[in-house]
Amino acid sequence: MNVRLLFPEGFLWGAATAAHQVEGHNFANNWWDWESQPGRIRDGSRSHPGTDQWIRYREDFALLHELGHTAHRLSLEWSRVMPAPGVLDQQALAHYRAVLECLRQYAIEPVVTLHHFTNPRWVEQQGSWRVDQREHFLRFVEEVVRSYRDLVRYWITINEPAVYANLGFVEGIHPPGDRSLRSGLRVLRNLLRAHQDAYALIHALQPEAQVSLAHNLAVLTPATHHPLDRLTAWLHDRLLNHAVLAACAALHPPRLAVGMLRSPRQRRTLDFIGVNYYTRSLVRFAPHRPRSLFAAHTPGTEGPRSLFGWEVYPRGLFTLLCALRRYRLPVLITENGVAEEGDTLRPWFLLAHLRAVHAAIRVGVDVRGYLHWTAFDNFEWAEGLRMRFGLVHVDFATGARTVKPSAWLYARICRRNALEPRDWQEACRQLAAGGASSARGGGEQHV
Ligand code: FCB
């Protein structure tokens, strides 16, 4: 890269988080109960105190401001705001008001997620999302939108509905630990209905709001040239990458979506597309795996591997963004990041993905911002605290924060609104210094 790559004026730069992963002190949701069961979290760690942002948010946001961030994605914890059916916790509401005001003080645009993998314990006890939770969820949505519409313009209703349904109800590695395709599809349908109603409700309360889902996209490449692998990869791309979007964008008749999800009404319920992108998988036809829709996904093998075992494949972001042009909607990158112990891969990861975003903008994709996953090392669900995705290192024993080199590099990019050739050189130097140490891992992939 030997030219300066300038981003559009007003491009949003920042990072993304989720309440249960960063706050600590969350004892009233399904994840706390799940973590309490032996063997559920790979490294045996817990979310509390973890990053402890419930207490430390002021210093953390001051740091993000210093690091040039102009946007920040966070989620509001439903179980705090509604500890029991129909009961509102005024202290929790006041706390989140202070959190959002603090972001505004630092001129950081909040992007607020309403459901990011966690449910109040009482929702879980009522059958989780296997049953229609719209009444309760919409009550929560109404309350928070009324409370914060003066502070928040960007709302994400639900984070990764298909991933949530898959990990919790098909693969069973997240709560409630079901292993049934039927249950997963029912959950996905209920979540999409909740999204559609939440979309309408938010617009009724705040007409100028910008509302979307955060949708996980993965590049799905056939593992071989065999026609069955190619067909399976194509079908999985349609189902995993496009069925949810097609159902919510109401642009094309979503035939697959209708079939798979018995998609509800055809309404356009996206103002933009929130994209979470991490990796590429190789897809193989697997006749003995009906629960996985007759496919096995394994990590791609061309690029370096993250600590998670995921292939780093920046080109894929360009390809996927180009494929979104059919929806004719603006795009916000709501997550993109890499887990590693140190910080040798991350600078290059950042640069290479930002270059892909820039290339997509040049060919006409309307990308409005980039939110890196994540700001501070945090609790990575079933993997625990070991999986460090942060721009800022957290010492979980003392709570001390240490800015990683990639965060300074990113800060310069955010401030100039541009990538420069010397950023690229610096990232390549770090990558070379790290050698092959970060290229390890493997195993099955959860998309
Ligand atoms: C995404 C989740 C996010 C985080 C990253 C690594 O699927 O939305 O909470 O766990 O993966």
Per-block mean pLDDT, blocks of 10 residues, the chain (447 long) = 94 99 98 98 98 98 98 98 97 98 98 99 98 98 98 98 98 98 97 97 98 98 98 97 91 55 70 98 98 97 96 98 96 98 97 98 98 98 98 98 98 98 91 61 36
Is the CB–ligand 1 distance for residue 426 below 6 Å? no
CA 322 remoteness from chain centre: 19
pLDDT at 215: 98
- What amino acid is encoded at 440 in this protein? R
Helix (H) or strand (E) holding 432: helix 421-434
Does the predicted TM-score (pTM) go above 0.85? yes
Kindly indicate whether the domain formed by 11-434 is annotated with CATH number 1.20.1260.10.
Answer: no
Ligand 1 center to residue 227 CA distance, Å?
Answer: 32
Residue carrying structure tokens 């961030």: 69
pLDDT given for residue 430 in this prediction = 87
The pLDDT value given to residue 254: 52
Question: DSSP string covering 145-201, please?
Answer: HHHHTTT--EEEEEE-HHHHHIIIIIS-SSTT----HHHHHHHHHHHHHHHHHHHHH
pLDDT at 434: 79
Task: Please give the Cα distance from 322 to 284 (Å, whole number).
Answer: 24
Instruction: Give yes or no for residue 160 CB within 6 A of ligand 1.
Output: yes
Backbone angles phi, psi at 16, to 5 degrees: -125, 150
* Residues with Cβ within 8 Å of residue 412, at least 6 apart in sequence: 68, 423
Å from CA of 120 to ligand 1 middle: 19
166: CA distance to ligand 1 center in Å? 13
- Which atom of ligand 1 is nearest the CA belonging to 216? 7
Pick the catalytic residue from 23, 35, 77, 160.
Answer: 160
The DSSP letter of residue 303 is S
